[in-house]
Amino acid sequence: MPIASNKPRIVQVLDIKEESETVRSLIFRDDLCSKAKPGQFVMVWIPGVDEIPMSISMMGDQSLAGFTVRKVGEASKALFDMKVKNILGIRGPYGMPFTPIFGDVMIVGAGTGLAPLLPLAEILTQKFASINIIIGGKTLSEFVLVDRARKTLLKNNSEIIITSEDGSYGIKGLATDVMESILKKKYIDIIYTCGPELMIKKVFEIAQKFSVPIQASLERIMKCGIGICGSCCIGRYRVCKDGPIFDSKKLEEIIDELGLFRRDHSGMVTMIE
Ligand SMILES: Cc1cc2nc3c(=O)[nH]c(=O)nc-3n(C[C@H](O)[C@H](O)[C@H](O)COP(=O)(O)OP(=O)(O)OC[C@H]3O[C@@H](n4cnc5c(N)ncnc54)[C@H](O)[C@@H]3O)c2cc1C
Ligand code: FES
């Protein structure tokens, strides 16, 4: 009998990939996650600690799947510190995925924001897609998954541009500045983005200016992951069920909250710093 994605499963960490001093990818075996669509996420239970959402960053053969975690607080640090053979619980995959559009594509990502974007890029490159990917960050040590982006994209008619705010890697400046200069010269069918919410907001505003549709992956505190608790609300949407991928129309509806407010762990609406 097929397993329902809602059913919690116990998996073992099979492999760990060091992405940077603060980011690691954990590989495990799970049939459902290996068939997830780019942009979907999994709720990861770290025994004795917490349960947190993670984008599925790798869907592989032989039921392999993986996510890429940056240590920021207690639960993500506990995940980051996991060793091969440790166990964790997973449920999912959940959420609305990206819709692949095969054409002239722009991808704008930063940090672990590349985690859901790279499986999408991998699918796009299998058919036809000309991809301009702009990877932004503050400084060199923050960049992760760039080698994987290169391996994926340099196979076809694609361009990778790196921007860092302090000039320590690639072009000095913001990803959104480069994005705007490309859009002035080139027709783009669709923009996909994931990263800090203020960057997403800016990417959305520029996309609107050039009338290019966009799909953005948003992050909110999540407790249930399945639309019950309300902790992930943004406007009239629940990021876990209606997202995490938001298209231009939905982003337009939540523009008063995007990059400005979110709920904290207690459910209180707070300013995004
Ligand atoms: C759909 C989805 C996919 C995600 N994918 C990834 C991923 O691929 N890799 C990754 O490293 N992280 C990802 N995250 C974020 C990750 O879930 C949080 O960083 C994690 O829950 C933090 O837990 P913590 O106990 O370590 O930190 P906490 O102590 O709980 O929080 C540390 C800081 O992060 C903020 N924070 C906590 N959880 C979230 C959240 N869900 N959204 C936004 N801010 C939050 C807190 O307000 C606080 O400022 C994703 C979140 C969502 C909603
Ligand atoms: S996480 Fe509970 S409603 Fe979205």
Kindly write down the DSSP assignment for every residue of 68-130, as one continuous string.
EEE--SHHHHHHHT--TT-EEEEEEEESB------SEEEEEEEGGGHHHHHHHHHHHHHS--E
Q: What is the mean pLDDT of residues 185-212?
A: 96
Answer yes or no: are the C-beta atoms of 131 and 117 closer than 8 Å.
no
pLDDT at site 2: 61
Q: Whose CA is nearest to atom 31 of ligand 1?
A: 73
Confidence of residue 1 (pLDDT cuts 50, 70, 90): low
Does the pLDDT at position 130 exceed 60?
yes
CA distances (Å), 109 to each of 34, 119, 143, in order?
Answer: 23, 13, 10
Does the pLDDT at position 128 exceed 60?
yes
Distance from residue 191's CA to the centre of ligand 2 (Å): 26
Give the DSSP letter of residue 33: H
Q: What is the mean pLDDT of the chain?
A: 94
Q: What is the mean pLDDT of residues 237-256?
A: 97
232 Cβ inside 6 Å of ligand 2: yes
Q: What is the mean pLDDT of residues 203-209?
A: 97
Each residue of 97-116: pLDDT tens digit? Answer: 999 998 899 999 999 999 99
Answer yes or no: are the C-beta atoms of 37 and 97 closer than 8 Å.
yes
Task: Tell me the ligand closest to 53's alpha carbon.
Answer: 1
Task: Tell me the ligand closest to 41's alpha carbon.
Answer: 1
245 Cβ inside 6 Å of ligand 2: no
CA distances (Å), 6 to each of 32, 124, 225, 256, in order?
Answer: 10, 28, 10, 32
Question: Does pTM surpass 0.85?
Answer: yes
pLDDT at site 3: 65
Least confident of 157-161, 220-224, 253-257: 157-161
225 Cβ inside 6 Å of ligand 2: yes
Q: Whose CA is nearest to atom 7 of ligand 1?
A: 54
